[in-house]
Amino acid sequence: MIEVLEEAGEELKRADHLVYVSLKYTRTGDVLLNSLSRMIDAYDFLVDALLAFAKDTKKLQQIPTSPLEKGNLVKQLYSQQEIQDNVDLFFLLRKIYRAPHEKEQEYRRHVALITFIEGREEIINIDVITQYLEFQKQFYGFVVTMLKDYAKQKHVDENGWEY
């Protein structure tokens, strides 16, 4: 469970670098897509950590394999609004990443990816992806706090050893 959280943290660091450094200097649609990919991977790790936590607390017997099933199961197991909103964002980012898209105003400040999902236009630009990343980083902090509080109750040190 702790290892999965560390992987999520590493993916968030990579996404953070892409958004705040690479995108600042290159301003291409490909960097936006790579940022989305890293954010999706981080969400995948966070969902896995929440499911491992549920399995550890005996709320769950078996963890599903597909990301859609995992996300829906997390939404069923946890009623906190922050978790619900972030799983919805996870699903939206997956749809945006997989949908056909157009790149607009590359090499300029207003670089954007434009796609149509379920009949509505979705635009991902520097401002939007920055907001999504900050929202995701807050969620990461929420999950880390929740799992560390449980580990303290269980008397588990940072290496995963119970005492």
pTM score of the predicted model = 0.90
Per residue in 57-79, pLDDT tens?
888 899 999 999 999 999 999 99
C-beta of residue 140 within 8 angstroms of C-beta of residue 147: no
Can you name the CATH fold of 2-154? Answer: Four Helix Bundle (Hemerythrin (Met), subunit A) (1.20.120)
Q: What is the pLDDT of residues 14-73, one digit of tens each?
A: 999 999 999 989 999 999 999 999 999 999 999 999 999 999 888 889 999 999 999 999
In whole angstroms, give the CA distance from residue 96 to residue 43.
14
- CA dist 139 and 146 (Å) reads 10
